[in-house]
């Protein structure tokens, strides 16, 4: 979880002003907030998450301790591809998450012969990622979803209407799954080259190569 810190700074003579930090990981925020508290001049320190919810230091520490053994800091890349010649689709997703003090990357893809367009394949890839999140027991957390489909990202953001029946049906299924899992989604549109791994997985699924793999992410 990323947060911003807000606090009141008070001089020895009682002059006060309010400061706001840049966004940072919650664990870093706790270290900074506790250090500021020790100076005796930072008052009313609160954390603000991406959904504008506020947390005290005690509440944030308790939250982070509670999720330590569960997947958290989750980011999802998804992509779908559709072959007009064969009417087959390939779905791919890459899920990054932290658990028990380590970072992991899950790669998953799947073929499909039930879809009718590239846009539908993109939606199906997003839904595939939600199924994987459910298997990981990801719940009641903010999750960042990243894709290169303007249609899916803008429709799920509510910026574009989902007028096609097939696509609106997928959007409804995804919203229902998000609600079931208690996931608070954030969506980001990126260029295709920034979504290369999910794109490669979707292509591999189209070519009959199915992949399900989880690996630890280590710093070089």
> So what's the pLDDT on residue 220?
58
Q: Within this chain, do residues 193 and 127 fall inside the same structural domain, yes or no?
A: yes
The residue from 32, 67, 102 where one domain ends is 67
Q: Within this chain, do residues 101 and 179 fall inside the same structural domain, yes or no?
A: yes
Task: Specify the residue for token string 């957390």.
Answer: 141
CATH code for the domain of 130: 3.30.420.10
Q: Within this chain, do residues 102 and 175 fall inside the same structural domain, yes or no?
A: yes
Domain tally, the chain: 2
Structure tokens that stand for 38 in this block = 């020790």
Three-state SS for 131?
helix
CB atoms within 10 A of CB 50: 14
Instruction: Give the helix ranges, DSSP H, for the chain.
Output: 26-39, 57-67, 118-136, 150-156, 165-181, 196-206
Q: Within this chain, do residues 78 and 130 fall inside the same structural domain, yes or no?
A: yes
Strand order from edge to edge, sheet including 142-147: 184-189, 142-147, 72-83, 88-99, 102-112, 212-217
> So what's the pLDDT on residue 65?
80
Structure tokens that stand for 20 in this block = 């706001």
> So what's the pLDDT on residue 11?
85
Q: Within this chain, do residues 111 and 56 fall inside the same structural domain, yes or no?
A: no
- The whole domain housing 15 covers 2-67
Task: Specify the residue for token string 């001089």.
Answer: 11
> So what's the pLDDT on residue 133?
97
Q: Within this chain, do residues 39 and 85 fall inside the same structural domain, yes or no?
A: no
Structure tokens that stand for 55 in this block = 């947390």
Q: Within this chain, do residues 50 and 81 fall inside the same structural domain, yes or no?
A: no
Q: Within this chain, do residues 59 and 92 fall inside the same structural domain, yes or no?
A: no
Q: Within this chain, do residues 106 and 142 fall inside the same structural domain, yes or no?
A: yes
In the chain (220 residues long), the average pLDDT of successive 10-residue segments reads 86 87 86 87 87 86 80 95 93 95 95 93 97 94 94 95 91 96 94 96 95 87
Q: Within this chain, do residues 76 and 176 fall inside the same structural domain, yes or no?
A: yes
Nearest residue to 182 (alpha-carbon basis) of 217, 130, 220: 130
Q: Within this chain, do residues 10 and 37 fall inside the same structural domain, yes or no?
A: yes
Q: Within this chain, do residues 207 and 103 fall inside the same structural domain, yes or no?
A: yes
d(CA 29, CA 113): 47
Sequence-separated (6 or more) residues with CB below 8 Å from residue 141: 1, 67, 72, 74, 182, 183, 184
């Amino acid at each position: 979880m990323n947060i911003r810190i807000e606090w009141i700074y008070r001089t020895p003579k009682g002059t006060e002003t309010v400061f706001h930090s840049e966004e940072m990981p919650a664990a870093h925020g706790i270290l900074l907030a506790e250090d500021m508290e020790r100076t005796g001049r930072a008052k009313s320190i609160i954390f603000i998450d991406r959904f504008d919810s506020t947390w005290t230091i005690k509440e944030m520490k308790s939250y982070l301790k509670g999720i330590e053994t569960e997947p958290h800091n989750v980011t999802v890349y998804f992509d779908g591809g559709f072959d007009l010649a064969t009417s087959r689709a390939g779905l791919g997703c890459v899920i990054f998450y932290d658990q028990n003090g380590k970072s992991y990357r899950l790669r998953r893809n799947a073929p499909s012969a039930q879809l009718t367009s590239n846009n539908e394949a993109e939606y199906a890839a997003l839904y595939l990622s939600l199924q994987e999140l459910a298997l990981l027991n990801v719940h009641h957390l903010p999750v960042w979803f990243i894709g290169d489909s303007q249609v899916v990202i803008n429709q799920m953001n509510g910026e574009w209407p989902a007028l096609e029946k097939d696509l609106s049906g997928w959007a409804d299924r995804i919203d229902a799954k998000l609600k079931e899992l208690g996931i608070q989604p954030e969506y980001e549109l990126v260029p295709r080259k920034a979504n290369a791994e999910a794109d490669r997985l979707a292509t591999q699924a189209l070519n009959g190569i199915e992949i399900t793999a989880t690996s630890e992410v280590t710093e070089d």
